[in-house]
Amino acid sequence: MAVPHGTPGARRGAAHGGPAALRRLLALICLCLCVCLGAAACAPTAPPAAPDTTGEQVRGVLDGRAAAVLHRDRAAYLASFDPRATALRATESTEFADLAAVPLRSWQYDVSDVARTGDTATVRAQLRYRLAGYDTAPVSTPRFLQFVLRAGHWYVTLDRPGDGGARQLWQQGRVEAVRGARSLVLGVGQDPARLRLVAAAADRAVPAVDRAWPGTWERRVVVYVPASLQAMAELLGRPAAAYEDIAAVTTGETGGAGAAPADRIIVNPDAYGTLSDFGQQVVLTHEITHVATRGATSAATPTWLSEGFADWSAYRGSGRPAATLAPELRTAERAQGPPDALPTDQDFSFGNDPDALARAYEEGWLACELIAAQWGPKRLAAFYRAVGAHPGRPGAVTDALRDVLSTSPAAFTRLWRVYLTKRLG
pLDDT at position 330 is: 97
Domains, the chain, ranges and CATH? 54-165 (3.10.450.50), 167-296 (3.30.2010.30), 298-425 (no CATH)
**pLDDT tens-digit map of 334-346:** 999 999 999 999 9
Distances (CA, A) of 252 to 169, 225, 307: 16, 17, 15
pLDDT at position 256 is: 52
User: Taking the model in full, what pTM does it have?
Assistant: 0.84
**pLDDT tens-digit map of 260-282:** 678 999 999 999 999 999 999 99
Say how far apart CA 58 and CA 50 lie, in whole Å.
Answer: 17
pLDDT at position 245 is: 84
Which residue ranges of the chain lie beneath pLDDT 50?
1-43
Q: Which helix (H) or strand (E) holds 176?
A: strand 175-179
Q: In what order do the strands lie in the sheet with 221-225?
A: 175-179, 183-188, 221-225, 264-267, 248-251
Distances (CA, A) of 197 to 158, 175, 202, 267: 38, 17, 9, 13
